[in-house]
Amino acid sequence: MSWTYATLLGLLAVLLALSLSTEADTAAVPNSTGRAKDPQGPLKKIFMKEADASNFFRRRSRRASKSQDEINAEQRQILAADERKREFHEEKRNKFESYAEEEHDEQNEKTRESTEQWREFHYDGMHPPHEYNRQSI
């Protein structure tokens, strides 16, 4: 049972230390409502008055139709996103095509070299080499 008393006493000491410290007062939200009612500078652009906000939500309910400007802005965003996707996939496809072409060329080169080595190794000197089977360089 003594550990519960020690824990309770420790928590009580921490609570007392926090309530007496000066940082606890600075962390509290100030009670001045003058600044909250009339924001200045860039905050004025972000926040709107309560009446304007309620009118905004009343005007734009779930079933309300959108204005033409909003529809146009959404369409521009959708078209821009589609264009970015198209460019991304086109770039990806071009990279893969160039990679596949390089791999194909490299494989053809390896095949040609191995065929040349096989012909040189098996040539007995008696018969003419098969020129018509060789790839022209």
> Which of 29-33, 81-85, 110-114 shows the lowest mean pLDDT across its residues?
29-33
Phi (first) and psi of residue 42, to 5 degrees: -65, -20
| pLDDT computed for residue 130 by the predictor | 63
CA distances from 71 to 8, 15, 65, 81, 104 (A): 61, 55, 10, 15, 49
Helices (H) and strands (E) in the chain, counts: 6, 0
Q: Which of 6-20, 38-52, 57-71 has the highest mean pLDDT?
A: 6-20
User: Which 8-state DSSP code applies to residue 56?
Assistant: H
Q: What is the DSSP annotation of 62-113?
A: TTPPPPHHHHHHHHHHHHHHHHHHHHHHHHHHHHHHHHHHHHHHHHHHHHHH
| pLDDT computed for residue 78 by the predictor | 96
Q: Residue 38: pLDDT above 80?
A: no
CA 125/CA 112 separation, integer angstroms: 21
